[in-house]
Amino acid sequence: MELIIVAIFLSLIVILIAGYPVAFTLSGAALFFAVVGIITGNFEPSFLEAIPNRLFTIMRNEVLMAVPLFIFMGAVLEKSGIAEDLLESMGLLFGPIRGGLAISVTIVGMFMAASTGIVGATVLTMGLLALPTMLSRGYHPSVAAGSICASGTLGQVIPPSIVLVLLGDVISSSYQKSQLEQGNYSPDAVSVGDLFIGALFPGLLLVLLYIIYLGVLAIFWPKGLPCIPKKERERIRLEANMPLIFKIALSLIAPMALIILVLGSILAGFATPTEAAAVGGMGGLFITLIKGKLNWKLIVQACYTTAFQTSMVFLILVGASFFSLIFRGFGGDTVVRDLLMSISSDPATTFIVVMLLIFALGFFIDFIEIIFVVIPIIGPPLMSMGFDPIWLGVMIGVNLQTSFLTPPFGFSLFYLRGVAPASFKTKHIYLGVIPFIIIQLVVLVILFKFQGIVTWLPNYFYG
């Protein structure tokens, strides 16, 4: 059985490297090995009878309804001009400080993450808006690229992250499975809201450390992070035709209102994440209407983006459902659990090995495949070792964010490369993200040592 399981994984890797679509690779390879197993007598055909029920379970899952709603909210806000207003206002506020523009990019990235939750959209938007500005004002290309890529990936961790929505559903199922295996037949539930709340402090910690790094770098390398010239700041202020404090307040009202509506309603217990996502979608439309940019073309484009990305997510989920069912039919979950238990008698060592595996997988496959394929397999054994499910989910989210940044295959690097000028060298992007990767790893160590940073807030709100 172990040989069959190894063969399944090897075939998946080979087919994925060959460039075939992930969803079809997962389901196709799984069904092929199921047929081989039936012929050789190593697989029970009755497992396949559960496939229709699993698909209907996915369709009835109310938590996953939040995915298209958050994607729609992000797609609308991407075109609303919020990022432009924020970047200009933060640039005026921090402009007199060396490194102020890079700090502004980080803060805008935080607000965009908390407003849209979509990494690709944030990196692309910030790359188009901030990169030319930073280069024209004398910033070193590596600093510009690193700050944009790092701030753009905050959408992986800061709610309402699509990653956390998907992770929340998978972590909940894995946690219930681990409890049932331990003999607890009335298992506790973990919600997406729990992960949202648990990820708040780690997300803010990342932002704080990014800003501290940029501030220190500006002190020791002022040439690479210059301040905005006074004449330039005065010109922008005159064009705004209002006091600086009013301009900053106006640019912050829309994203702050949306954050309060979405996250505040979840924290206060007024709405589930799915209901909050619907509020966010309507809020995004309202903000775009107020800014005078709502039109039929924008709605069509946002709906197209939503349909495309949602279809991709759910098709992968269907393929992963096929794969996980057949994988369990071969006893794969037992083999993985025994393998994890045999790595070390120390749960911490086993956890570190698993995190390294997820980090490595993040180079080659998208976070969606990792969440739907890998987490259901390794989640229950880790939780059986006593790891808190909320803490585990947030740690995986930060880990995936780190892999998004890491050369040579980090997805955010590809996003920025796609919108950067042809003269902009790829090595600048790679060199620029290295300090931020180190910060990410430091945060992972901090969260590992001080788990209360993740668990205190959920315990305070929900006990």
Which tokens in the block code for residue 336?
A: 């993985």
**For residue 66, what pLDDT band results from cuts at 50, 70 and 90?**
confident
The pLDDT score that the predictor gives to residue 445 is 95
Query: Helix H segments across 61-118?
Result: 66-78, 82-94, 100-116
Name the range with the highest mean pLDDT among 17-21, 214-218, 281-285.
Answer: 214-218
- Per the model's pLDDT, the better-predicted residue between 122 and 38 turns out to be 38
What is the SS3 assignment for 161-181? CHHHHHHHHHHHHHHHHHHHH
Is the confidence at residue 28, as pLDDT, over 80?
Answer: yes
Which tokens in the block code for residue 400?
A: 């995936």
Q: Across residues 395-400, what is the average pLDDT?
A: 91
Which tokens in the block code for residue 363?
A: 């180079």
Burial 176-212 (b: 16+ CB within 10 A, else e): bbbbeeeeeeeeeebbbbbbbbbbbbbbebbbebbbe
Q: Across residues 252-280, what is the average pLDDT?
A: 84
Q: Across residues 316-340, what is the average pLDDT?
A: 80
**For residue 451, what pLDDT band results from cuts at 50, 70 and 90?**
very high
Q: Across residues 399-428, what is the average pLDDT?
A: 81
Mean pLDDT of the chain: 84
The pLDDT score that the predictor gives to residue 237 is 66
The pLDDT score that the predictor gives to residue 217 is 94
Is the confidence at residue 40, as pLDDT, over 90?
Answer: no
**For residue 376, what pLDDT band results from cuts at 50, 70 and 90?**
confident
Q: Across residues 270-276, what is the average pLDDT?
A: 84
Radius of gyration of the chain (CA): 23
Q: What angle do CA 184, 186, 196 make, to 5 degrees?
A: 100
pLDDT in tens, 122-177: 787 788 778 888 888 889 999 999 999 999 888 888 888 888 888 888 898 888 88
Name the range with the highest mean pLDDT among 76-85, 262-271, 375-384.
Answer: 375-384
Is the confidence at residue 81, as pLDDT, over 80?
Answer: no
Q: Provide, rounded to the nearest whole percent, the portion of the chain with pLDDT above 90.
A: 19
**For residue 96, what pLDDT band results from cuts at 50, 70 and 90?**
confident
Is the confidence at residue 193, as pLDDT, over 90?
Answer: no
- Per the model's pLDDT, the better-predicted residue between 364 and 77 turns out to be 77
Sorted by sequence, the CB contacts under 8 Å of residue 175 that are 6+ apart come out as 187, 188, 189, 190, 379, 380, 383, 389
Q: Across residues 434-462, what is the average pLDDT?
A: 92
- Per the model's pLDDT, the better-predicted residue between 87 and 241 turns out to be 87
**For residue 330, what pLDDT band results from cuts at 50, 70 and 90?**
confident
Q: Across residues 377-387, what is the average pLDDT?
A: 86
- Contact in structure between 364 and 416 (CB atoms under 8 Å): no
| CA dihedral (415, 416, 421, 424) positive or negative | negative
Among 398, 440, 396, smallest CA distance to 209 is for: 440
Q: What angle do CA 154, 156, 159 make, to 5 degrees?
A: 85
The pLDDT score that the predictor gives to residue 364 is 63
The pLDDT score that the predictor gives to residue 198 is 93
- Indicate the domain borders of the chain: 2-462
User: 3-state DSSP call for residue 31?
Assistant: helix
The pLDDT score that the predictor gives to residue 209 is 96
Is the confidence at residue 410, as pLDDT, over 70?
Answer: yes
Terminal Cα-to-Cα distance of the chain (whole angstroms) = 43
Burial 137-165 (b: 16+ CB within 10 A, else e): bebbbbbbbbbbbbbbbbbbbbbbbbbbb
Is the confidence at residue 119, as pLDDT, over 80?
Answer: no
